[in-house]
Amino acid sequence: MVIVTKGDLIWIEPPTKNQFACPIGARVIDSYGGKIKVIDDDNREQWLPAEQRIRIMHPTSVQGVEDMIRLGDLHEAGILRNLFIRYKQKLIYTYTGSILVAVNPYMDLPIYTAEQIRLYRNRRIGELPPHIFAIADNAYTNMRRTGRNQCMIISGESGAGKTESTKLVLQFLAMVSGQHSWIEQQVLEANPIMEAFGNAKTIRNDNSSRFGKYIDIHFTGNGAIEGAKVEQYLLEKSRLVSQALGERNYHIFYCLLAGLSAAEKDELSLTSPQDYYYLTQGKMLEAEGRNDAADLAEMRSAMKVLMFKDAEIWQIFRILAALLHIGNIKYTATILNNMEATEIKDKAGVTRVAKLLQVDERSLVNALTTRSLITRDERVVSCLSAEQSLDIRDALVKGIYGRLFLYIINRINEAIYK
């Protein structure tokens, strides 16, 4: 039997039963006839029946701790409550030994200044409150001390803040290396380019990375950054041709339409996002908190830092515009030689795409409406149905964008990998 008094903090059974349910914290506010009245962590008041199992909360779970190894209630409920308490106090970082748990605050916090970087430099983990800079400094210091490679794994579900954490680690390393060199600037400027082409608004996250990346940072014997290399994998190509309700395509398309000058848009035959099939399926043309026009200007500036030539940047824009126009191509079913076939009525649209991609118009039409099978002795061309042609159209767009993304990553590496 557990004896409690008014003001005690206890663990009570969850209000609902499912696979994610776990005990929650509550404060005793009254008792009568063997029952106790509590107010739980979600501010719900309730009378608990005498038969309900309760447990006294350990003192470490009452106010929360910076390192969860010190928790007396070392179970799922204790961990969740500790993170919840600290989150309400705008303390988004918590240790579990040498592991840092970060809870996305979805707001700007004044804890990433140059002064904060200096504060966490050459400090052991635990000397100061938990922080992403402490983890970055620990890796940097160990590398300098031992001369051995260090690794930081940033993992979490969509919207957890992995992209921002990566940028903060790079910001810290660039500053503490102390050289403030051109290569450090180039490493930092790679981020807005990768975000533009590889990130998108999802239901859970307005700047969700839709690809995985592995970043190698190379240092001199004196601890200065001398280069970096980015490896990308698992780009979500399906997003190019289909988005869930409330989501967007990749940022770069909206940035292009918002940030290009009227003359540039006219040269690419571009108009507004609502005019393109590939941008409207999610019925979400804007992302709260993002300025697409400003983002394009930032990306173009970053590309200059990373040695992209003006003509090269314009060629990339031509390809992106062509992909939008390809998405607007419509097919009409027809019969050719007693077989199901398809044709493209919008000849002007095909001409526009061929001009932007600098390919032969007839070859483009054939690629979008026919299939070629090459055997040992001959080449057999067969017509596609309208439905099959749509699949081919989408596959072409995914293939081109995938190659373009890989090209951009390779160009970034050419600039920063020494």
Task: Convert the pLDDT of each residue in 213-256 to its tens digit.
Answer: 999 999 998 888 988 999 999 999 999 999 999 999 999 999 99
Mean pLDDT confidence for 181-210: 91
Query: Residue 390 pLDDT more than 60?
Result: yes
- Looking at per-residue pLDDT, the higher value among 184 and 155 belongs to 155
Q: Annotation-wise, does 160 bind a ligand?
A: yes
Q: Annotation-wise, does 162 bind a ligand?
A: yes
Based on the number of CB atoms within 10 Å of its own CB, is 34 exposed (0-12), middle (13-18) or buried (19 or more)? exposed
Q: Annotation-wise, does 31 bind a ligand?
A: no
Q: What pLDDT, on the 0 to 100 scale, is given for residue 271?
A: 96
Q: Annotation-wise, does 156 bind a ligand?
A: yes
Q: Are the CB atoms for 165 and 154 separated by under 8 Å?
A: yes
Phi, psi of 315 (to 5 degrees): -65, -40
The reported pTM is 0.84
Which CATH topology does 9-62 take?
SH3 type barrels. (2.30.30)
- Residues of the chain with pLDDT > 70, as a percent, come to 98
Q: What pLDDT, on the 0 to 100 scale, is given for residue 357?
A: 95
Phi, psi of 67 (to 5 degrees): -120, 115
Residue among 311, 394, 296, 307 nearest 358 (CA): 311
Q: Annotation-wise, does 159 bind a ligand?
A: yes
d(CA 46, CA 340): 68
Q: Annotation-wise, does 157 bind a ligand?
A: yes
Q: Are the CB atoms for 393 and 414 separated by under 8 Å?
A: no
* Lowest-pLDDT choice from 74-78, 144-148, 315-319: 74-78
Q: What pLDDT, on the 0 to 100 scale, is given for residue 402?
A: 97
Q: What pLDDT, on the 0 to 100 scale, is given for residue 252?
A: 98
Neighbour-count burial for 41-75, b at 16+ CB within 10 Å, e otherwise: beeeeeebeeeeebeebeebbbebbebbeebebee
